Structure 1
């Protein structure tokens, strides 16, 4: 079967099961046909020339197995394999979007950087080491310390196979190789070798739940939904109102500002309908009608912006 034909179905993603069934997903992506260099270049040019989403889908599908392969390298950080694959797929899609087929490089080589970068970012955001790995050098230390420790042990002829910590000489070697401070190596090793603490309460043999950190670490003020709601309220009260006012004509804008957005020196509020009516030489009812129409227009503008 021609690879392009195999992928050009109406819904190519129907060929791939959900990541909820990881074994089925991996089996499916490994059966997807690879593209020849000519097919890859043709699809990439279609994508760049006209934003062809079907071409983008074929490029992504044919490289899903690469994401699976790369994600296996990061299973030692205690994060679900499915999540690592999902983040790697995001990196793959970014690579496909930016890929230039005329540079003479295959997509597989170009995409590796984007896939690894996205997985690295996910691990750093979600693993317990995030606060240590802040600089570029520390990130390099974070992702290389485990493998370097094993290599140093293998190179030592008289090594104690049960020893898990680095010797002083090995700490110096790691620090010099990765261009970080000796103290950073020691701190990183301590954190890497530390055990995880369960946040949720665990049921004991007697059926009673233990007291866990989740009971005292909860902070409703920083709960994501509340943070988003507060952020939206802040935006509506500042930039949102400003944008909505920009949709009004000069008279309507002044009426809204005088009625609702200004406070007099005596804190009695803005101008009354009658005061504005006197200014414009129309009836108070006409000012009210303009105000109602302006408020309706602003509400529509805010709804569209949100």
Structure 2
């Protein structure tokens, strides 16, 4: 039987600080309450029990997400991805194993945040395999400053992480590298050449230029038609998230604007993107 508990629901509107204050007011579960709710969800499919398990651990996601702010990604999006991991943990949690949900959920929350960071931290992906991702996150944590690792330090890190020294050096090079703009910035000296000026263009032949321009027009029309196939709210969400010339709107900002949860905005966005992909594939 489900334990009777009262949970203040985090507001769908307001700032991120207000959301964090709301989740911190949600009471923690005792071991028995957690066990009763987990059994109700696993044995009886009680979705309300699953909701209470998720709600009582939202503060854990906030705490974990705060540790990844150094990657320059929005705190709200890190929390949202961590919440997805928390829901996956609740779905897979087995209360008969004698382990508290908090210990089980940490892995799933970090896994979703790690995946999000690797997808979005740089345009040129720095970690594509499971081993590289492990090295990426561990190396950042083991380096205490921005100085380059010396020979003995490289060997020590490689031994501790169980990888080759050359893999440590390669990942350190990727981590210390900076994105370089190909085009000159608005404040650059007119006499300076941006990197793009040194690149030869193999497609400068007039017929190829015209063909590329025609293809671009067709692609623009396809994107326009795909956007037009969406309802007004979905079109606005996709445009604000992916097609904005300025800073992209976060899930929580859109949630506040439409008066729904950030998870609902994520669902609408995913459904709209899938519909657009199908539309563009048919157009192509």
TMscore range, shorter length: 0.5 to 0.7
Q: Cα deviations across residues 14-66 of structure 1 (Å, max 9, x unaligned)?
A: x2134862111111111110111111111111111222111111100000001
Residues 118 and 19 of structure 1: CA distance in aligned 2, closer, same or farther (over 3 Å) = farther
Q: Distance in 2 between matches of 1:130 and 1:43?
A: 44
Does the alignment pair 1:80 with 2:63? no
Residues 101 and 19 of structure 1: CA distance in aligned 2, closer, same or farther (over 3 Å) = farther
Q: Cα deviations across residues 243-262 of structure 1 (Å, max 9, x unaligned)?
A: xxxxxxxxxxxxxxxxxxxx
Does the alignment pair 1:93 with 2:93? no
Contact residue 118 and residue 126 of structure 2 kept, 8 A = no
Task: Select which of 89, 93, 104 maps to 2:98.
Answer: 104
Secondary structure in 1 matching 2:80: helix
Contact residue 84 and residue 109 of structure 2 kept, 8 A = yes
Secondary structure in 1 matching 2:54: helix
The aligned counterpart of 1:269 is none
- Scaled by the length of structure 2, the TM-score of the pair is 0.62
Task: Select which of 21, 31, 37 maps to 2:25.
Answer: 31
Contact residue 137 and residue 178 of structure 1 kept, 8 A = no
Does the alignment pair 1:192 with 2:175? yes
- Give the count of matched residue pairs: 207
Secondary structure in 1 matching 2:68: helix
Aligned pairs (5 A) from 1:249-260: none
**Offset of 1:128 from its aligned partner?**
1.9
Cα RMSD after superposing both structures = 3.5
The aligned counterpart of 2:153 is 170
Gaps (5+ residues) in structure 2? Answer: 189-193, 197-214, 224-272
Does the alignment pair 1:229 with 2:223? no
Task: Select which of 161, 166, 179 maps to 2:162.
Answer: 179
Q: Distance in 2 between matches of 1:83 and 1:74?
A: 11
- Scaled by the length of structure 1, the TM-score of the pair is 0.58
Contact residue 19 and residue 82 of structure 1 kept, 8 A = no
Q: Cα deviations across residues 175-232 of structure 1 (Å, max 9, x unaligned)?
A: 2221222222222212212234579997659xxxxx999xxxxx97698776442446
**Offset of 1:109 from its aligned partner?**
0.8
Contact residue 23 and residue 59 of structure 2 kept, 8 A = yes
Secondary structure in 2 matching 1:5: coil
The aligned counterpart of 1:5 is 5
The aligned counterpart of 1:22 is 16
